Amino acid sequence: MHEVKKSKAIEEAGIWQVKYYLYYLEERGVSELKAKIDYPLIKENRTVELTEEDRIRLREIIEKIYEIQDMEQPPDSRERKICRKCACQDLCLI
């Protein structure tokens, strides 16, 4: 799998996004995949692989998402610093 990030920094959130893609595919029978993330603006790249620790963390995160989905009221929804660069901002309730 190959991902290109146009950011000028290697951000943890971007790495976790790709880990989630690997996890999603693995859950559907596509295993032993690796990903490469290229950061052309800073001429860097990272290889991403899923570890057992990553799988556990992703399962916990997904479980928390389902908990939020089941809430009658959404949790605190103040805009945060990360929201300013978020690609989902147009779709988000904030």
C-alpha torsion angle, residues 90, 74, 20, 59 (rounded to 10): 180
Helix (H, G, I), strand (E, B) or coil at 92: coil
Residue 71 near residue 82, CB atoms below 8 Å? no
Q: Which is nearer to ligand SF4, 40 or 74 (CB)?
A: 74
- Residues 42-81: x where in contact with ligand SF4 by CB under 6 A, - otherwise, as a string: --------------------------------------x-
The minimum distance between CB 65 and ligand SF4, in angstroms, equals 12
Residues that bind ligand SF4 (CB under 6 A): 80, 82-83, 86, 88-89, 92, 94
